[in-house]
Amino acid sequence: MEPSDLPKEGLAPGAARSAEEDRWGFVSLSEEERDEIATGLDDGLLADEEWASAAFGTTNFFDQAEIIEGVLPQSARSALAELRRGSLDTVVIRGLPHDDIKTVVRSDEGSEVPPARGHAFVATVVRRLGFEYSYAKEKEGALVHNIFPTQKGATTQSNESWKVDLSLHTENAFHPLRPDFVVLYCVRTPKAPPATHLSQLRDILPRLTDEEISILREPRFTIKVVDSFLAGGEEGVRLPLSILDGGTRIPTVRWHENIRGIDKQAENAITAFSTAAKAAAQAVRLQPGDLLAFANETCLHGRDKFDASLDGSDRWLLRSYVRRDLSQLLPFTVASQPRAIRMDLTARAVS
């Protein structure tokens, strides 16, 4: 079943919203709001270009962005507050001011001219939801990731793919310490933007039987650790997990296409969940200036394949991970990189 698209242009300011649009936290900004936001950023946080560009992606920059949170309109701040407290699973803010960048990006170090407004919005939204953090083994512990296609990752199930669809998943589902929220900001997109698919758990569960849900709650599954997170490059390391967890009224989910069941019933439950997740999916096509934030424990996400030239002018997103509380991370960090998790996952693997 093909997922239906969320609103392409969003509602006009003040227009009545449908229940569906409200439930997806879709915010469309007016031209007047965009102008006010751009002025507030350019005359404030980004006024000192030399200082700002040197600080992008640092905790210091996030601290400064938190101070100017009021640059976002009330509609956006209200939607993000609902996401933070669990009333929403997704928020799409359409039409933020964006950077008209013509320079190329070929490595995770970024481009010659970093997207200043993009970094500002990512940092501001992250601090509205919680705190930024990273993984030492992912993109060298960067707090903000440049997401773009590469030749090496063309056919992989990773953020560098483009020749294949990126299947529905929760971010870093294999890891014991996962993001509470993921924030994505679109810097650049092809003329035919690929659809980002979002599937909310509250829409998936009604498509499953009570027996399937019960099995999904049991520790009858394993998940593969992605190669970049393995301590010594070991192959085939798998961790045990339950796909569903949490309370019966508001459960949480961990999902990836490489999850396997330990018996036939578990495998059947995986098939049922995958089918239900695809049937429940909605799509949004991110344009420059669009920001997407979602709850990682209650919302799956994926992406269609797309055309890439690999000349440094392809689709480009900024991404950051968010935790409501960083206290659980502290035992797994070091003083030199206090926001980057270091954990030996091989010690937790099943034999």
φ, ψ at 14 (rounded to 5°): 85, -10
Position 112 scores a pLDDT of 63
Residue of higher predicted confidence among 290 and 351: 290
Answer whether residue 325 shows pLDDT above 80.
Answer: yes
Stretch among 44-48, 94-98, 284-288 having the lowest mean pLDDT:
44-48
124-144 pLDDT, tens digit each? 999 999 999 999 999 989 999
Position 249 scores a pLDDT of 86
Answer whether residue 201 shows pLDDT above 50.
Answer: yes
Answer whether residue 181 shows pLDDT above 90.
Answer: yes
106-115 pLDDT, tens digit each? 665 555 678 9
For residues 146 and 267, give the distance between their C-alpha atoms in angstroms, rounded to a whole number: 35
58-79 pLDDT, tens digit each? 999 999 999 988 999 999 999 9
State the sign of the Cα–Cα–Cα–Cα dihedral 168, 176, 174, 307.
positive
Residue of higher predicted confidence among 52 and 87: 87
Q: Contact, 133 vs 340, CB < 8 A?
A: yes
Cβ contacts of 287 within 8 Å, gap of 6 or more: 94, 186, 189, 193
Q: What is the mean pLDDT of residues 172-185?
A: 97
Position 118 scores a pLDDT of 96
**Residue 52 pLDDT grade (very low, low, confident, very high; cuts 50, 70, 90):** confident
Q: Contact, 65 vs 120, CB < 8 A?
A: yes
CA distance readout (Å), 82 to 30, 76, 97: 21, 10, 23
Answer whether residue 16 shows pLDDT above 70.
Answer: no
137-168 pLDDT, tens digit each? 999 899 999 999 999 889 989 898 999 999 99
Percentage of residues of the chain with pLDDT beyond 90: 72
For residues 156 and 69, give the distance between their C-alpha atoms in angstroms, rounded to a whole number: 37
Answer whether residue 57 shows pLDDT above 90.
Answer: yes
Beta strands in the chain (DSSP E): 4-5, 26-28, 90-94, 105-107, 110-111, 131-135, 145-147, 166-169, 181-188, 196-200, 221-224, 238-241, 244-246, 251-253, 260-261, 282-284, 291-295, 299-303, 316-323, 340-341
204-224 pLDDT, tens digit each? 999 999 999 999 999 999 999
Q: Contact, 23 vs 87, CB < 8 A?
A: no
Closest CA to 168 of 322, 274, 23, 319: 274
Residue of higher predicted confidence among 111 and 349: 349
Answer whether residue 14 shows pLDDT above 50.
Answer: no
CA distance readout (Å), 217 to 249, 269, 270, 275: 13, 10, 11, 17
SS3 of residue 47 by DSSP: coil
Position 130 scores a pLDDT of 98
251-301 pLDDT, tens digit each? 999 999 999 999 999 999 999 999 999 999 999 999 999 999 999 999 999
Tell me the CA end-to-end span of the chain in Å, nearest whole number.
37
Q: Contact, 328 vs 182, CB < 8 A?
A: no
Q: Which residue has the tokens 């320079």?
A: 103
Residue of higher predicted confidence among 2 and 7: 7
Closest CA to 142 of 154, 159, 156, 165: 159
Q: Contact, 345 vs 230, CB < 8 A?
A: yes
Position 153 scores a pLDDT of 87
Closest CA to 4 of 275, 188, 199, 204: 199
Q: Contact, 341 vs 134, CB < 8 A?
A: yes
DSSP conformation letters of 276-297: HHHHH-EEE---TT-EEEEETT
For residues 167 and 256, give the distance between their C-alpha atoms in angstroms, rounded to a whole number: 8
φ, ψ at 46 (rounded to 5°): -100, 10
Residue 166: both structure tokens together: 């990126």
Percentage of residues of the chain with pLDDT beyond 70: 89
How far does CA 190 lie from the centroid of its chain?
Answer: 20
pTM value is 0.92
**Residue 23 pLDDT grade (very low, low, confident, very high; cuts 50, 70, 90):** confident
For residues 314 and 187, give the distance between their C-alpha atoms in angstroms, rounded to a whole number: 10
